[in-house]
Structure 1
């Protein structure tokens, strides 16, 4: 064979290799999995811990409200008992004081409701950021092209059980979270 024949054969081999590579990549299915998002979030140890912290804060805030309301009830009771002996000016002063005390409680409750909402949003965002970060890492480490989230809103209407990676992801993220907490 002459040099020209080698070049033609070599060019043909390269051309066919390119076509075969293109065909294989074109017809190879991407690796896809899905996650039952609600179950993952609910059973993630980080979410459980965040909820416990939030619950503890709410209990403290409620105890403060209960104390303020108890003080107010005591003041109303004392006012009721003292009422027959009060002159007009003392009665007006005590009623004004009780009104301010009641308004203070309402304002405090309202500010705590706003603070509770902010705390809940921050907590949820932080937990979801951890989950999303872990899912990305998991997908990259396990060769996934796409990981879908199965939600109650219906983003994924059907998926084969073999494509459900929720349990593996949940075990992995909880192990990751425990190791992260132990390193603190």
Structure 2
């Protein structure tokens, strides 16, 4: 009988050790992941908010200048309407040519505004992205995360509010680090 209990004890010990080894292997091969909602991150991070404020100021300047040009075009067209019907063919051509020139100038200005704001956003956001990436690497190491996905406009189909959603915690970490 003692021999029987000895065999059972040995089997129990082997199974226990096997179970512990199995748990350790499973735990070590498990990938820990999270995701960050980049839209929420960029609207919540003080560094990105500062950049957006600067961009709004710059856009307001451009918009004011564009409105001035548009008003000038509108005033020109109003004056042109008054004399166009009774004007000579050469005057009509000159007026139309100037109108086209003003319209094209407004179009070039609008395009320059768009390109200027895009370049400015890119330049101003570069250090913000570096801060985010640096902080996210540190945050991930501290949390033991192996992979962090970024989501924007619904590229993560499900998960918001789950344990995998680290957005709020990371925004808090980021703002404390760079504020």
Where does structure 1 lack aligned partners over 5 or more consecutive residues? 1-22, 179-184
Root-mean-square deviation (CA, aligned residues, Å) is 3.3
Q: Which residue of 1 aligns with 2:70?
A: 69
Structure 2 CA distance for partners of 1:160 and 1:43, relative to 1, 3 Å: closer
TM-score normalised over the length of structure 1: 0.66
Aligned residue runs from structure 1 range 80-119, under 5 A:
80-83=81-84, 86-119=87-120
Structure 2 CA distance for partners of 1:96 and 1:163, relative to 1, 3 Å: closer
8 A Cα contact 2:62 2:113, kept in partner: yes
Aligned residue runs from structure 1 range 1-184, under 5 A:
26=25, 28-29=27-28, 32-38=32-38, 39-83=40-84, 86-140=87-141, 142=142, 144-149=144-149, 151=151, 152-154=154-156, 158=159, 161-178=162-179
Deviations along 1:75-96, whole A, 9 cap, x unmatched? Answer: 1122222346644433322322
Corresponding residue pairs, total: 156
Deviations along 1:2-60, whole A, 9 cap, x unmatched? Answer: xxxxxxxxxxxxxxxxxxxxx69745446835233233233112222222222222222
Which piece of structure 1 moves more, 157-166 or 41-50? 157-166
8 A Cα contact 1:34 1:159, kept in partner: no
Where does structure 2 lack aligned partners over 5 or more consecutive residues? 1-20
Q: Which residue of 2 aligns with 1:13?
A: none
